[in-house]
A and B are shown apart, each in its own frame.
Chain A
């Protein structure tokens, strides 16, 4: 009952391994597979699963790092405190807003950049791809400082360069209001991570069979029709994977907010709230509860993407 399909290269691949007795060769291959992947698997368990379990365990206690003697079990009380506090819900709202706006803009701009990279003439391709990828190579903290200093009221140049734009003048303090602070935070985030999206989308574009597009062109389809009916449906898997990866990343935004406003003027995001509680207040119990909830939010995003939007990670990687 094994389903067999022919892949692009014409080789027969099987979706499910054959049941029954395995040959010596396949057994030794399995053993080799475990030997190769096993250490990485164990390390993964040690650095991800162990801290997650520890965080959940800590979240059930009232535990302050500087008062270790007062540690006591409080059950789910920390979760009740967090979920009934407007601070959590405000941070949740801000984080969701940043995620939605940045991912949407990044997908649109990233797609445009991917098209440019895809269509660029061969001699320019290398230079263009490198140029587009430069922001992605910059460490987030460094980019956050660069954007902060560019917009800062005392040392920034933006107010002087753009004072002809209505609403911008030399007295505009970008980091003193919620709207303007979020604008700079999101602009920095978009600038830095759009190359990542465009790279994933470029891989998707490369998978769209050229003859399909040519056929559509011969049939008289316009550029827009070709995009909508041929290119986009064929790279849906790549787009959804790009959106999923970026949404997970964007939801955990920390560096930009920490550097630029440190949560002032209603810009606190969930990661910053977790940091402030665990590391700033040294309230390990309460902070762990926030971290566990943040983790559940991320799982939720994965679940929605995979079940509702049917993102197929395996096909996007070209495994099927």
Chain B
């Protein structure tokens, strides 16, 4: 009896430890793990291409991060704080880069690599990859919002946004006169911060006036003409119902659905809407006439005397500071961001390149006839505030500027300034 028990114990112990031994021993070339944001399979394909190009030096495997940017940041920050060595390369949303760079979670980018990966790259993407005047991530793809419009509605309103820049006031007037809805993102989410930032920047202001300061010294620039102009636009759209009944919960996808509907008119949104609408037409869920009626132009202006500053987004590649293969990860990241791979990614997944060269690719021109407008928009784009406390600033804005109908130019900028300042000083909950 006792012998049987002992035999059972030994067998169990072997069965439990064997897989662990198998896990710890790594045979073959070093395996780099690239944490990617969910997409249509483009990053997995690029990983495969770069593994082949490495010719046995390393292999790249991918791990998918959560769907929204905030959850991606949460997971990466927690893993990096625990010094996770499995993170070699990560796809990072630009606003969260300072927060990860400041405590040394990102491996430094050597000067020669920095020079290489910033040649022929749009300025917005370089700005987004930089923290305290040093390149801390490698620009991969760069996103920006355009003004999408229904040609029929614009024509009836006497506007031609592709030739002459339009202002928010003109869009609101046109929607009101024709009983149409504007596609904007009023949900209490990151997309609301994107909208507020683009409006404040387009009016010549900044959400933060000293973004590199410490938490208790950060100063907000919302109590200004720019802040009030932004609040006026959001409040008017909310109060007058110009964003439709779904505005307080509308994210980018909801705006697209609204825009494609009978009462769609103008919409600010990322370029994915073009490939999404094309796919819907190919599936037969939308008529071809719908696609033919869509026009595009630069993001609307707040007032006609100032150049617009469209939103900037996208993904940069960070190298994990605790990675066991930093040099190989840097090599792999440079392979990932080659203009050819960026052009492939744009043409197949709809994510615009940060490399100016990639825009000359014929496949890109064919898939995205608005590629030149996107490139121009990226040159003019304004990043969201670059601060290690971005999450507090963004969530604080969402708390005080939601729902859009409650936004008042006389009170909201002041209220959000007081609230965010108190949160940053550790005196208030968020």
Contacts and interface: CB of A to CB of B under 8 A. Distances in A.
Interface string B68-82: 001000100110010
Interface string B274-311: 00000000000000000000000000000000000000
B351 to A, nearest CB: 24
A273 B249 contact: no
Interface in A221-274: 261-265, 273
A154 interface: yes
A154 B426 contact: no
Interface string B379-417: 000000000100110010000001100000000000000
A81 B428 contact: yes
Contacts of A87: 428-430
B246 interface: yes
B422 to A, nearest CB: 9
B188 interface: yes
Interface string B87-123: 0000000000001101101000000000000000000
Give the size category of B's interface with A.
20 to 34
B74 A153 contact: no
Contacts of B189: 262
Contact of A68 (B103, B187, B248, B391): B103
In this complex, the member of A175, A263, A276, A280 whose beta carbon has the largest number of chain B beta carbons within 10 angstroms is A280
Interface in A262-301: 262-265, 273, 276-277, 279-282, 286, 290
Interface string B229-265: 0000000000000000111110000100110000000
B26 interface: no
A282 B105 CA distance: 15
A157 to B, nearest CB: 15
Nearest to A153: B246
Contacts of B245: 153, 171-173, 176
A69 B189 CA distance: 30
Given A67-B103, A173-B246, A173-B248, A277 B429 contact: yes
B249 A152 contact: yes
B249 A175 contact: yes
B186 to A, nearest CB: 9
A277 B391 CA distance: 11
B401 to A, nearest CB: 12
Contact of A154 (B81, B257, B391, B402): B257
10 contacts: A65-B77, A66-B100, A81-B426, A81-B428, A82-B429, A85-B429, A262-B189, A264-B249, A281-B392, A282-B74
B430 A276 contact: yes
B205 to A, nearest CB: 25
Contact of B429 (A279, A282, A286): A286
Please give me the 10 A-B residue pairs with the lowest Cβ-Cβ distance, nearest first: A176-B248, A264-B188, A171-B245, A87-B429, A153-B246, A65-B81, A85-B429, A175-B249, A66-B103, A173-B245
Contacts of A273: 429
A136 to B, nearest CB: 27
Contact of B426 (A62, A66, A171, A264): A62
Contacts of A149: none
Interface string A165-177: 0000001110110
Nearest to B78: A65
A277 B78 CA distance: 13
A280 B395 contact: yes
B81 A176 contact: no
Contacts, number: 87
A88 interface: yes
In this complex, the member of B77, B245, B426, B429 whose beta carbon has the largest number of chain A beta carbons within 10 angstroms is B429
Given A87-B428, A264-B402, 8 more contacts: A65-B78, A66-B102, A173-B246, A175-B249, A262-B188, A264-B403, A276-B430, A277-B429
A156 to B, nearest CB: 11
Contacts of A172: 245
B427 interface: yes
A85 B428 contact: yes
Contacts of B426: 62, 81, 286
A280 B392 CA distance: 9
Contacts of A286: 426, 429
A85 B100 CA distance: 29
Given A152-B249, A264-B402, A280-B74, A81 B429 contact: yes
Contact of A281 (B78, B102, B391): B391
Nearest to B404: A176
Contacts of B428: 81, 85, 87
Contacts of B248: 173, 175-176, 264-265
A140 to B, nearest CB: 18
A172 B248 CA distance: 12
Contact of A280 (B105, B246, B254, B391): B391
Interface string B312-353: 000000000000000000000000000000000000000000
A159 B128 CA distance: 43
Contacts of B70: 280
Nearest to A80: B427
A152 B178 CA distance: 26
A66 B430 contact: no
Nearest to B101: A66
A304 to B, nearest CB: 26
B403 A265 contact: yes
A68 B81 contact: yes
A277 B246 contact: no
A279 B257 contact: no
A47 B245 CA distance: 46
A75 B248 CA distance: 40
Contacts of A263: 188
Contacts of B77: 65-66, 282
B429 A69 contact: no
A85 B426 CA distance: 11
